[in-house]
Amino acid sequence: MSEISFTSAIRPVSLRDFSSAVTKIGSKHSVNYPWTINESIKAQAAYTTNICDCTMLGISDGENVLMMHICPTVEQNHNLFSLKQFIARHINLKNTNLEGMLIGSKMNKKSQEIYEKLSNLLQNFKIPYSELKIGKDPIKTAYSSQTDEWIVSSPYIDKLIKKGTEPLSVLNSTFEKVKIADTDEVV
């Protein structure tokens, strides 16, 4: 994937900064309940909140992001064929600038199943991606193609930022698994 010419930033932010950022994005670009593929958003910027046992999948092409917030308690969300077809219809899979982000899940069977299906789809599509898996509390995230930046926030992240904790340490303290793709950087 040496064709990729940009690097996405991953930034933990305070709850206040998150609120300010999503106000600029606007509520029409928010992925909301009931968290199926039908609520997914493709736009220059998007956000979602309350990622607990759900999995957020974001795929950026440098101009837009496809953001999905997939709830494991909804049976239709476990249909691998539907997930694959939905992504293929909304993303040009031949674009060499694609980058992905996975956030969420909990340590239960249904939650892990969704997360693993989405992770496997990214691998099968050969999309490099970063992971922030199993957070300590409900996670909020947003992406802006203008800045090519993912922001993540939660009450726990907010506390760590107020203590002056470095960004990578914030992520490592908040999530059980942090994997940063070569195409991304924590800032």
The pLDDT, as a whole number, for residue 5 is 45
pLDDT in tens, the chain (187 residues): 334 445 799 999 999 999 999 999 999 999 999 999 999 999 999 999 999 999 999 999 989 999 999 999 999 999 999 999 999 999 999 999 999 999 999 999 999 999 999 999 999 999 999 999 999 999 999 999 999 999 999 999 999 999 999 999 999 999 999 999 999 999 9
**CB atoms closer than 10 angstroms to residue 78:** 15
Using CA atoms, how far apart are residues 14 and 8, in angstroms rounded to an integer?
Answer: 19
Say what the pTM is.
0.94
Residue 148, sorted as left (phi over 0), alpha (psi -120 to 50) or beta, turns out to be left
Burial of residue 28 (number of CB atoms within 10 Å: 0-12, 13-18, 19+): exposed
User: Which residues, at least 6 apart from 11, have a Cβ–Cβ distance to it below 8 Å?
Assistant: 149, 150, 151, 152, 167, 186, 187
According to DSSP, the residues that pair with 175 across neighbouring strands are 135
